[in-house]
Chains A and B, each alone.
Chain A
Amino acid sequence: MSEKLIFELGKSGRKGVSIPEDELKELKVEEILDKRLLREEDPSLPEISEIEVIRHYTRLSQLNFCVDTHFYPLGSCTMKYNPRIAEKLASLKGFSTLHPYEPEELVQGALKIMFELGKFLCEIGGFDAITLQPSAGAHGELTGLLLIRAYHEHKGKKRTKVIIPDSAHGTNPASCTLAGYRAVEIKSGKDGCIDIDRLRGELDEETAAVMITNPNTLGLFEEKIAEIAELTHSVGALLYGDGANLNALMGISRPGDMGFDVLHFNLHKTFAAPHGGGGPGSGPVAVKKELEPFLPVPVIVERDGKYHLDYDRPLSIGKVKTFYGNFSVMIKAYIYIRMMGAEGLKRVSENAVLSARYVINKLKEVYDLPYDKPPMHEGVLSGKKFKEYGVKTLDIAKRLLDYGFHPPTIYFPLIVEEAIMIEPTETETKETLDAFIEAMLKIAKEAKENPQLLKEAPHTTPVRRLDEVKAAKEPILRWKKDKGES
């Protein structure tokens, strides 16, 4: 049965949860405010009972695939298990009832968590200073690029461009534009890694930064990273690290030691905070010492055993967000790091890499592995060989839903034709990985023997394949009363 929209449930005059009483009934709104300030028509909100609310959203939630119900090997997204203890403790009243403008002495516990989390992240990444303010990875990228901009301008040099590989996340070039830079894409080498000669050819005095992900979006470690850093620094540019793939490296190798000057973290990927179906995330940005003066305000500092919010930073880029960032996401990352410790985080990366390599190795004969090097925490296959049966990667992805698996990331990175980007994470059992491998192999067989089965997939989901072209061509972006049920 298909679930209705909340607006199609309930009826006029029905009431939901019990609302506080109006103790000032004798006082009339119209006596307080001029009628011209008052709204003429009430917003058309649902009129629905409490049980209908609970049932509606419970049922809707059950239409989702999620980490708690399904293997979710979405590449570049690190869909690992979200520990329940972190969820529970992050909502303690001692955190959730703090107003951001309370005096510092009342919020020492909150500041302690933020201060220590910053220290942990600097240690894990190999950096000197940090801001926790950005809301997500892309927000971190913008912040990091603005720091780089402020750094160059402070030195009296206005640089204009940022070099990124063509395998980069789409947010990278978009963040460059937002920060006032021109994004210059360089073609990756035959091995899928940065082409050093092309990089050298683009690097000049106009280059503000080189922005790369390591391991890159193919899941490959940039083995020449130290040389790339050296080249970048030789023209006075800085090396920016997109930390989306940090799950491969904890306790193994640190971006700061590789020569990165700036790195953003994704607490909602690497540090087990949930993705929330699309946020809120948290994207702290760590920097080397030279960039510290430019960090957004406030910076959390410790003096005489007390924590303070330091706003007195004349070279700061300003603020990228109100208050201090997504605090409750930070608590979850803090809990995760304190539970894992140094040894635990190293195990995380070892097992994340082991799992990815195991899966890719089992599938690379049947699907193509266009860059045949050992991947780190994720690997990118291609579905191109099934095109001869009229089957696209999209069809393979949709068919996986019928087998009870959320598909990998598809059609990214752009440099791989019919890309299938698989990131299993360390929290999945070998049995799950084996079942996924088996399903992928079965689907490959189906593609040859019964391609129609794939092209019409999924068959078992709450809705069948949806018409995305129609959605964009004739946009219906809100519910309307007169339209009735379609």
Chain B
Amino acid sequence: MPFIPHTEEDVREMLESLGLKEKEELFSHIPEKIRLKSPLSLPNPLSEMEIEREIERIASMNKGVMDYISFIGAGSYNHWIPSTVESLLNRGEIFSPYTPYQPEASQGTLTILFEFQTMMCELFNMEVSNASVYDGASALAEACLMALRITKKNEVILSSAIHPEYRRVVRTYLESAGFKVSEVQFKESGETDIEALEKKISDDTAAFAIQNPNFLGIIENIEKIKNLRERVNAMLISCVTEPISLGILKPPGSYKTDIAVGEGKSLGIPLNFGGPYLGIFTSKMEYIRNMPGRIVGETIDIEGKRGFVLTLSTREQHIRRAKATSNICTNHNMCAIAATIYLASVGKEGFKRISEINLKKAHFLAKELSKNGVKLRFSSPFYNEFAVKFKNPQKALEIGIEKGFLIGLPLGRFYPSLEDSILINVTEIHSLEVLSDLAKLLGEIKDV
């Protein structure tokens, strides 16, 4: 049997030392009526050679962004990953430890997480970061819960230009605990309607949340948002699903954000059909005791040497149990390590350049599209994603596939009012040539 090293002799010796003869006796205290009478019904076991063949066969049933030229983003952006990331993540010393409960035997993991926290603070311009949560959506839900704890109020307001799945996760998390979740619409230009938001904010409002750039690709009017935060007694939660944008765009900390969360998928993590990704969670220092999840801190050992430990754990479930700031235990450590290695590898200048290329190529495509008579859905500034109008989006997508393109995400899936639009994402991986090809194709099929 693979992965079980015990020989017959080992088993016999171990049983003998327990005064037993047969392995079945190990389970003799399990009542007869709940013992399984027949073997589990599972496929026959496969050897390593056979499973390799089988899994390769199943993998070949899939067609991904290597087979098509893809412009689907919508919260999962396809970026280039330096080979350093995969190479280091393949080390058993990185993927095979547990959560670093014994710091003296876990300085590798802890040091990298300390670097991760520092990098997230830098990117988001926030004072403190935790060591990751599951994904962007759960980060946003946890941020809402944290704001509700701090303010002791009972409502959060979400911009409807936040990723629709994130909003759904927030509702799942909050509504069962009895909190109210309301939404404010976006304007015709694609920005969140800040005036309407201001009217909605009441004494019950713990926080309002925006995504920047928002789900429609639009860069929000952060000056207005900052001003609003200064005027109202509700916290501002900012969510970034495309952290590559932070190479050039104003970071959440610069517009008075109290809690900034994000999806770190873009930072060295493969598409993987939607997961595992990386929940980023940062805030102002004053809220640290209310933060969910693991936090790594610096300290010294008995000889005065620098070292790192999990800290402030009196917030957490294993100490505080029912009164913990969250139930989270296992987080997304490997993804946080991937992001750290990614950012270290591309470096200060590389990160900025990649961020610029994303912006420029997206605007290059937009220009090419307008040359071909294709109209953008929204007028506000955008980063690397934008919505385009079609007479029949479904038909356009089908033709796209025939021609080898995954054109984008049909927005009607989430917004009935945007049934005429497809969301298109451009990143550094797209060559100018394929962008021109796409513009030409869309010009031909926009009115189909």
Contacts and interface: CB of A to CB of B under 8 A. Distances in A.
Nearest to A486: B306
Given A48-B344, A64-B94, A322 B137 contact: yes
Contact of B136 (A139, A173, A176, A322): A322
B3 A427 contact: yes
Interface stretch (B152-160, B202-210, B230-238, B312-320): B312-320
Contacts of B3: 80-81, 83, 272, 340, 348, 426-427
Interface in A323-380: 323-329, 331, 335, 337-348, 350-351, 353-355, 357-358, 361-362, 373-374
A268 B276 CA distance: 13
A124 B40 contact: yes
Interface string B26-62: 1101110111100111111111100110111011111
A142 B327 contact: yes
A264 B262 CA distance: 27
B88 A427 contact: no
Contacts of B312: 472, 475
Given A45-B348, A326-B276, A6 B115 contact: yes
Given A17-B84, A177-B322, A322-B166, A94 B300 contact: no
Contacts of A478: 114, 117-118, 121, 128-129
Contact of A221 (B1, B29, B106, B169): B29
B273 A98 contact: yes
Nearest to A82: B96
A155 interface: no
Contacts of A428: 5
B91 A58 contact: yes
A110 interface: yes
Contacts of B131: 278
B173 interface: yes
B324 A32 contact: no
Given A20-B428, A252-B35, A463-B307, A339 B46 contact: yes
A87 B91 CA distance: 11
Interface stretch (A99-107, A195-203, A285-293, A438-446): A99-107
A124 B40 CA distance: 7
Interface string B54-82: 11101111111110101010111010101
B417 interface: no
A138 B142 CA distance: 14
Contacts of B303: 464
B36 A109 contact: no
A173 B321 contact: yes
B369 interface: no
Interface residues on B, range: 35 or more
A46 B344 contact: yes
A87 B10 CA distance: 29
Interface in A203-259: 221, 223, 225-226, 250-254, 257-258
A14 to B, nearest CB: 8
B249 interface: yes
B82 A17 contact: yes
B59 A109 contact: yes
Contact of A341 (B44, B125, B351): B44
Interface string A30-41: 001110111110
B84 A60 contact: no
B93 A358 contact: no
Nearest to B321: A173
A349 B44 CA distance: 18
Contacts of B59: 89, 92-95, 109
A322 B62 contact: no
A36 B223 CA distance: 8
A430 B45 contact: no
A17 B364 CA distance: 26
Contact of A57 (B5, B56, B341): B341
Contacts of A323: 76, 165, 273-275
A467 B299 contact: yes
B123 interface: yes
Nearest to B270: A96
A373 B122 CA distance: 53
Nearest to B295: A477
A280 B332 contact: yes
B61 A108 contact: yes
A177 B103 CA distance: 29
B30 A348 contact: no
- Residue among B44, B55, B401 facing the most chain A CB atoms (10 A cut-off): B55
B151 interface: no
A169 to B, nearest CB: 8
A280 B335 contact: yes
B61 A102 contact: no
A275 interface: yes
A226 B30 CA distance: 11
Nearest to B93: A61
Interface residues of A, number: 197
A354 B23 contact: yes
A277 B98 contact: yes
B405 interface: no
Given A276-B95, A478-B121, A486 B300 contact: yes
A477 B350 contact: no
A29 B331 contact: no
Nearest to B328: A138
A320 B137 CA distance: 8
A317 to B, nearest CB: 6
Given A174-B317, A464-B104, A351 B300 contact: no
Contact of A45 (B136, B323, B351): B351
A16 interface: yes
B135 A347 contact: no
B347 A5 contact: no
Contacts of A7: 115, 118
Contacts of A345: 40, 42
Given A20-B357, A429-B5, A470 B300 contact: yes
A5 B163 contact: no
Contacts of B92: 66-69, 82
Contacts of B329: 136-138, 170-171
A467 to B, nearest CB: 5
A353 B350 contact: no
A170 B108 contact: no
A469 to B, nearest CB: 9
Interface string A110-147: 10110000001001100000000001111101100010
Contacts of A27: 360, 363-364
Nearest to B137: A322
B270 A97 contact: yes
Given A89-B56, A138-B317, A479-B118, A320 B138 contact: yes
21 contacts: A7-B118, A32-B381, A45-B119, A45-B347, A60-B108, A68-B92, A87-B95, A89-B55, A137-B330, A274-B96, A275-B95, A275-B330, A278-B99, A321-B134, A327-B275, A328-B276, A362-B17, A373-B29, A466-B299, A475-B311, A478-B129
Which 3 residue pairs of A and B lie closest in terms of their CB atoms, listed nearest first? A323-B274, A94-B59, A68-B92
